[in-house]
Structure 1
């Protein structure tokens, strides 16, 4: 599977996970991964898979085509965009698989998925990461 950026996601025994980093000096988490710590300026960062499940912290619906360098499909469809809190780690900004605001609720459980994003010039589908509402709580 081709991803928008190979450095954003890693394989784990439980499935794909976002690849972040954690500072060995102050324990700060970052995503995407970094070589230097934004909190203490240390350089002892370790690549670390992030939690695959979290909680929707806030969201909006992207209702218009973003400005360049947007690399999505020519036919724009509105999409959910939110911040998902990964427990004990950090809050990440991500696409949401749900674009109906009535189906989203702050505080709802979410899980990571890899979803189609666009088709490359060579015809190969390119995927990105997104968070989806857990099935048990969908209305």
Structure 2
């Protein structure tokens, strides 16, 4: 599967997960990966798959085309963006698969998915990550 950026996601036995960094000195997590720790300024960062599930911390609807370097489709459609809290790790700024504000609730369980983002020049789909409501947990 072609991704917008291969360094953002990794495969796990449970499915795709975001690939972040964890500081070996203070245990702070970052996403995306980085070489230095923003908490303790240490340089002992190790790649770590982040939790696949979290809870919606906040959200809004993106009603206009983002500025460059946005590479999405020319024909813009509004979409939801939010912060998802991954337990014991961090908040991730993310696209949401659900864009109806009436269907989203702060605190609702979410899970990461890979979703189509745009079509490459050669016609192949290019995917990115997004968080989706975890309806099975809500029911």
| TM-score range for the pair, normalised by the shorter chain length | over 0.9
Q: What residue in structure 1 maps to residue 14 of structure 2?
A: 14
Question: Are 2:86 and 1:86 aligned?
Answer: yes
Deviations 1:69-124 (A, max 9, x none): 22101111110100000001000000000000000000000000000000111111
Q: What residue in structure 2 maps to residue 43 of structure 1?
A: 43
Alignment of 1:86-125 (within 5 A): 86-125=86-125
- TM-score normalised according to structure 1 size: 0.96
Q: What residue in structure 2 maps to residue 30 of structure 1?
A: 30
Count of residues in Structure 1 that have an aligned counterpart in Structure 2: 138
Partner Cα separation in structure 1 for residue 69 and residue 10 of structure 2: 25
Following TM superposition, the consecutive aligned residue runs of length 4 or more in structure 1 with deviations greater than 6 angstroms are: none
Deviations 1:42-77 (A, max 9, x none): 111010000000000000000111122221011111
- TM-score normalised according to structure 2 size: 0.96
Partner Cα separation in structure 2 for residue 68 and residue 45 of structure 1: 29
Deviations 1:11-47 (A, max 9, x none): 0000000000100011110000111111111111010
Unmatched tracts of structure 2, length 5 or more: none
Unmatched tracts of structure 1, length 5 or more: none
Indicate the RMSD between aligned Cα atoms, in angstroms: 0.9
